[in-house]
Amino acid sequence: MTRFDAIVIGGGINGLAAATTLARKGKSVCLVEARNTLGGMATYAIGNGPPLANLLHNLSPAVLASMGVDPSAIKTRRLRTAVLGDAPVIVDGAAARMADGTPHPDSERFAGLVDRLTSYGALLRQLAEAPAPVGAPDTMARLRQLWRLGRFGMSVKRLGKVEMRRFLQLLLSNAYDAVLDELPDGPLTGMLAADAVRGAATGPRSPGTVFNLIYRMGHGGNPELPEGSMTQVFNVLADAAKNAGVTISTGVRVKQITLEDGYVTGVETDDGPLKAPLVLSTQSLPATVRSLGAAHLDIEATRRARHLRARGTVAKVNLQLNGLPELVHLPDPADQYRLLIAPSADYVETAFNPAKYGGMSDTPVIEAVIVQGATGPWLSANVQFAPSNLTGGWTDAAKDTLLKTTLAAFAPYVPGLEPRIESTQVITPSDIETATGTPGGHWHQAEMALDQLLTLRPVPGFERGRVGPAGLYLCGASAHPGGDVMGLAGRNAAFAVLEDLA
């Protein structure tokens, strides 16, 4: 039986980031992944269908640096966003144009808003790129923590009086009011509203949704389509892990986190035991609690864990096509765009309404891209809102309804779509939960809400990702700062571990 310094459970972006960061600091690390492929939720796919995550918009350069990955090794193609409609709008970064190339009438105000949100994103990234500022183990770590907080405070101060007030005012408010304060309702506000609630169980009028929009813009927020597919990105990351000396075991399921006298001793897998005094888990909090056994946690801790809010609202609808469909009113082929059905902020809010009560939207918000598969193109769509707690459950009939609703939503803007369809896949939040163990199939393992962020993520009491017995850490999307194909949660956990060991 081999001994390691640390075991990382889960081979998604955060598991790879945590394992590689630790290995590059001289630790012997074993990464165990239950599936046969790396990439976690991002690369989960059915058959030869496209993976769950198609786009990169938040991959952290800091994570790549910690992993020793040359950013240029990750080849991507930047997409423009086409907000579909009778008069579609094409957005590229902060620039908004009409289909004929003329600037959108509100383009200046839009650019101002996007620039401001992007600068706020860069500001908040300071907090995201370090362990949550609480519970440092010793004086040095505490000083570092204070220094980081002080630096963040200074950065906010440096915005200037007016801009600082605007930042603080905006940070906790709702996306709907924030964007409609600047722009009349239409495709541009629809896009921002949709981006603010993607993956979340909120509508644009829900409080705190501006934060989610800013979070998305932490690294610019531009949709980048990986060359090849998401699997290629993870091949690069896996190579970095192997170069750093990480032992990667795929197809190995962790059954139990093992303990002795309140200290972690490793994991019991269906392949036998692995020993290490440190275990970092990318599993969701409830799954980690299950692997640990509730008896090893305080009652308050399990109470908080079971009341964690994680309700997935995004279903994946994949359509295998026999060729690219024509887009109405748009100059370029479909594979040049991120296609968005979110004609207004009101539309997005209305789409959310049924989800409050366990229903799916009959006019859904959709984000779709064309992905090249081995056998041809797929249109891969994130359809929202399709809540994990659908009344009556996700039966075949419910899946069929979701598919029909999706096709009906596309019909006005992509009229030639249906004849091109060869096959279809509907992956509901429940399917995602079953496949990945993430509660509610939630993208971030835990709702990105203000009461579940920073030092409160995923729940109060698990400071710096420490869970229960000494040596156990959360390092997945449910840890600070949260999910997306970003990797900071894993890197932060690795840094917290290194600080705790020092």
Partner 1 sequence: MSVVTDPKIGLIDGPVHSRLDSLNRARGWYDWAGYAAPSVLDTMEFEYFALRNQASLLDISPMHKYRITGPDAGIVLNRMVTRDVGKIASGQVGYAVWCDEDGMVIDDGTLFRLGKDDWRLCCQEPMLDWLLEAAWGFDATVEDESHAVAALSLQGPTAYSVLSAAGLDVGDLKPFGIRDLGEVMISRTGFTGDLGYELWCHWDAAEALWDTLWTAGKNWGLRAIGYDAVDLARIEAGFMTAGVDFQPVHATERLNRGHTPFELNLGWLVDFSKGHFNGRGALEKVANSPRSLLLRVDVEGFKPAQGALVYSGKRREVGHVTSGIWSPTTKRSIALAHVKMPYATKRPENLWAEIYVEQEGQWHTRWARLTKVKGPFFAPPRARATPPAAT
- Positions touching partner 1 (CB under 8 A) are 262, 289-290, 294-303, 306, 461, 468-469
Question: Please, what is the Cα angle at 362 between 196 and 179, to 5 degrees?
Answer: 25
**395 CB burial (10 A radius; 0-12, 13-18, 19+):** exposed
Nearest to 167 by CA among 198, 212, 121: 121
Shortest distance (Å) from residue 462 CB to partner 1: 12
Residues 159, 164, 166, 169, Cα dihedral to 10°: 150
d(CA 282, CA 279): 10
Could you tell me whether strands 472-474 and 279-281 are parallel, antiparallel, or unpaired per DSSP bridges? parallel
Helices H / strands E in the chain, number of each: 17, 18
Q: Where are the alpha helices (DSSP H) in 201-283?
A: 209-216, 230-243
Helix (H) or strand (E) holding 427: strand 421-427
3-state secondary structure of 59: coil
Residue 253 or 303 having the CB closest to partner 1: 303
Quote the DSSP letter at residue 355.
Answer: H
Nearest to 422 by CA among 373, 364, 366: 373
Shortest distance (Å) from residue 18 CB to partner 1: 24
Shortest distance (Å) from residue 291 CB to partner 1: 12
Shortest distance (Å) from residue 472 CB to partner 1: 12
- Token pair for residue 391? 């009344």
Residue 199 or 286 having the CB closest to partner 1: 286
Shortest distance (Å) from residue 136 CB to partner 1: 17
d(CA 131, CA 128): 8
Shortest distance (Å) from residue 304 CB to partner 1: 10
With tokens 């921002």, the residue in question is 192
Shortest distance (Å) from residue 286 CB to partner 1: 10
Nearest to 383 by CA among 356, 357, 410, 346: 410
Shortest distance (Å) from residue 255 CB to partner 1: 16
Shortest distance (Å) from residue 297 CB to partner 1: 7
Distances (CA, A) of 158 to 102, 143, 165: 36, 22, 11
- Token pair for residue 141? 């770590």
Helix (H) or strand (E) holding 248: strand 247-250
Shortest distance (Å) from residue 307 CB to partner 1: 11
Residue 286 or 440 having the CB closest to partner 1: 286
Half-sphere exposure of 258 (CA within 13 A, CB side): 13
Residue 442 or 466 having the CB closest to partner 1: 466
Shortest distance (Å) from residue 340 CB to partner 1: 42
- Token pair for residue 248? 């990667």
Please report how the helices 209-216 and 161-171 are oriented relative to each other, as an axis angle in degrees rounded to 10: 110
Residue 256 or 302 having the CB closest to partner 1: 302
Please report how the helices 345-356 and 187-197 are oriented relative to each other, as an axis angle in degrees rounded to 10: 30
Residue 64 or 467 having the CB closest to partner 1: 467
Could you tell me whether strands 29-33 and 6-9 are parallel, antiparallel, or unpaired per DSSP bridges? parallel
Shortest distance (Å) from residue 257 CB to partner 1: 13
Nearest to 15 by CA among 43, 38, 44, 45: 38
Residue 277 or 461 having the CB closest to partner 1: 461
Residue 242 or 296 having the CB closest to partner 1: 296
Residue 181 or 298 having the CB closest to partner 1: 298
Residue 255 or 404 having the CB closest to partner 1: 255
Residue 162 or 295 having the CB closest to partner 1: 295
Residue 188 or 305 having the CB closest to partner 1: 305
